[in-house]
Amino acid sequence: MERHPQSSILIEPKRSEGGLDPRSILVRGTNWLGDAVMTTPALLRLREKFPEAHLALLTPEKLRDLWIGHPAVNETISLAPGESVFAVGKRLRAGKFDVALVLPNSQRSAIEVWLAGIPQRIGYARPWRGFFLTQAIGQRAEAVKMRKRSIGEIKKLVAADVNRRTSDENRVFASAGTAHQIHDYLHLTAALGANPEPVAPHLFVAQDEVEAAKKKFGLDKISNPMLGLNASAEYGGAKMWPRLSFTAAADEIWRRTNCAWLVFGGRSETDKVIANSIAAVGNSLAANKNEMVNLAGKTSLRDLMALLKCCRVLLTNDTGPMHVAAALGTPVVAPFGSTSPELTGPGLPGDPRHRLLKSDAPCSPCFLRECPIDFRCMNGISAGRVVEAVVAALRD
């Protein structure tokens, strides 16, 4: 377990007036980076509702450092890889928590807090886990399920060209204002009396961390505007704008802005290959001026956060670092294909700092990991559109 000093609270705290007033709250956090960032509005609202409560976050070990200095969190409790549900429950019992708020929808997450003997256990109602919760919350009426399209459905849509839109502005869900996933987490905290109105996702990085990270990677001498580029995505190839499109856009942006590119990527071999190829081609196109710094596989989570914070803009696929950048105040430009910005876009829905680009492919979003046809959703987003979006974000 690790306790964190709180930074300044972003929301004016309000004391609980009647009803539930727990002294110690356990929040079972989500397992993926992007999802974790999207829970921060709910955590901030929970802190607003219970300013005096001790709020502990149960989080996978790989995400623990995301929460350092976060104003809503007093303590992090790490989930070790492969740790059994019984071991987790035993560890949690020592915390003597009054309430558990279970953000994931899995059976395991509900069983963990049940085994811990926490008196009040709140989470979404899902098959085979209601027994382990004291309050099973029904799905929001405005929620939109991310249903994967079948290959047959995709081919039928393409053949008939149904649902084709004539402009990006029209390609939204009917309930786009409240469809976003951050509302799902806020809906759970509302069961504890917290305000369900959204606030912007927020992460914390101190300025000395930013300066230390720049020095660590030799970026402290760069005077040109630093832009980030993240061409990978853990979920699968269907979320990835073509590599050559990234390279072409990055080169044109460099020519127009004289920027320095920071190329991000994970530790997997696939991520490193993608980043290496983009950096190599980019530096060649940039007349060997070495204006692309390849950081793939070299940064810790805190390094990544610090460097994303110092970027003027991040050009990225729909992936975890996209959400991290937005929560740190960095404008984002992101092509969307198989996924939906209305459901999982970066930052607060409708934030004009972020440019989220889509094509008019009738089968998008399909929510598949790999495209079963011709990848028209991403191929339909030109490098020129992305260039103009990045330049506009820089100008703003």
Predicted pLDDT at 396: 87
Q: What is the mean pLDDT of residues 295-320?
A: 96
Q: Is residue 61's pLDDT more than 90?
A: yes
Q: Is residue 172's pLDDT more than 50?
A: no
Q: Is residue 11's pLDDT more than 50?
A: no
pLDDT classification of 40: cutoffs 50, 70, 90: very high
Q: What is the mean pLDDT of residues 176-185?
A: 86
Q: Is residue 16's pLDDT more than 90?
A: no
Predicted pLDDT at 106: 96
CA-to-CA distance for 95 and 252, rounded, in angstroms? 54
Q: What is the pLDDT of residues 101-122, one digit of tens each?
A: 999 999 999 999 999 999 999 9
For the chain, what are the domain ranges? 2-138+181-190, 207-395
Helices H, strands E: what count in the chain?
15, 13
Select the CATH number that applies to the domain covering 2-138+181-190 from these four: 3.40.50.2000, 3.30.365.10, 3.40.50.620, 3.30.1220.10: 3.40.50.2000
Q: Is residue 18's pLDDT more than 60?
A: no
Q: Is residue 337's pLDDT more than 50?
A: yes
383-395 vs 243-257: helix crossing angle, rounded to 10: 40
Which secondary-structure segment (H or E) carries 157? helix 151-160
CA-to-CA distance for 147 and 143, rounded, in angstroms? 12
The full DSSP string for 2-45 is EE------SS------SS---SEEEEE--SSHHHHHHTHHHHHH
Q: Is residue 173's pLDDT more than 60?
A: no
pLDDT classification of 333: cutoffs 50, 70, 90: very high
The architecture that CATH gives domain 207-395 is 3-Layer(aba) Sandwich (3.40)
Are 2-138+181-190 and 207-395 in the same CATH fold? yes
Q: What is the mean pLDDT of residues 289-294?
A: 74
pLDDT classification of 281: cutoffs 50, 70, 90: low
Residues near 311 by Cβ (< 8 Å), separated by ≥ 6? 226, 227, 228, 262, 325, 330
Report in angstroms the alpha-carbon separations of 389 from 352, 384, 392: 12, 9, 5
Which residue, 262, 193, 253, is CA-closest to 22? Answer: 193
CA-to-CA distance for 335 and 358, rounded, in angstroms? 6
The full DSSP string for 300-357 is -HHHHHHHHHH-S-EEE-SSHHHHHHHHTT--EEEE-SSS-HHHH-SSSTT-TT-EEE
CB contact at 8 A, 264 and 299: yes
Predicted pLDDT at 289: 53
Mean pLDDT highest for which of 68-72, 293-297, 372-376? 68-72
Predicted pLDDT at 145: 80
Return the percentage of the chain with pLDDT > 70, whole number: 88
Q: What is the mean pLDDT of residues 207-223?
A: 94
Mean pLDDT highest for which of 141-155, 169-183, 254-268? 254-268
Question: Has this prediction a pTM greater than 0.85?
Answer: yes
Lowest pLDDT segment from 280-294, 315-329, 359-373? 280-294
